[in-house]
Structures are given as structure tokens and as C-alpha cells.
Amino acid sequence: MLLQSSEGAGSKSLCRRVDFHVDFDGIGWGSWIVYPKKYNAFCCEGECPTPLEEEFQPTNNAYMQCILVARNKKGETRNQLVLYGLPAIPCRPLFENHCS
């Protein structure tokens, strides 16, 4: 698998950050991404409780999603936590055979 999560889809556990490995060679970008060749992008997985509790350190976006779910009688939207505070990934792209 080129992009893979550490957990299987459809998990019914509470939301959490999980590993999400990206392999630039595997997705066909290896010829112009010099470094890193692979990295862990992380992703959010699992069910988000409604209402959100402070232990999840929800962002303003997550609070707004929670309000939308509460107001939506059909329940078509669900909470999705947005990961924040992750460091930037330094990438070295290759343009015309030179690193930028």
C-alpha cells in the first residue's frame, strides 16, 4: 500500500491521532522529491464524541462541527478533529535537475 494508516478503516474506537505513512517513491513523486523519501503524515481516526470534551483538545473547527451536528436533525455531518501543532515537513523538490 502506498499510503497506509496503522489502523483498519471502520474502527469504532474514540478519535485519536494514528500513523499515516507516505512513500513518495510509491506514489510516483520520488523523481522530484529528493528528501524525505518517506514520512509520517499522521491522521485522525475513530469516532468523535458529541459533545466534545476538553480532554480531546478540540480546535475551533471541531467545536463548530459539533454545533452543526447538534443542529442538523438528519445527522449528516460528523465531528472531525483537525490536527494542529505538528512540525512542518522539510521537503527538497528537484527542479530542472537542481535542488531548490
The residue type at 45: E
The predicted pLDDT at position 36 comes to: 86
pLDDT along the chain (100 residues), means of 10: 47 75 88 85 75 71 72 57 57 61
CATH level 2 (architecture), domain 3-93: Ribbon (2.10)
Q: Which positions ≥6 away from 59 have C-beta within 8 Å? A: 81, 82, 84
Q: Is this prediction's pTM over 0.85?
A: no
Residue 4 is predicted with a pLDDT of 46
Q: What pLDDT does 34 receive?
A: 79
Hey, is 35 helix, strand or coil? strand
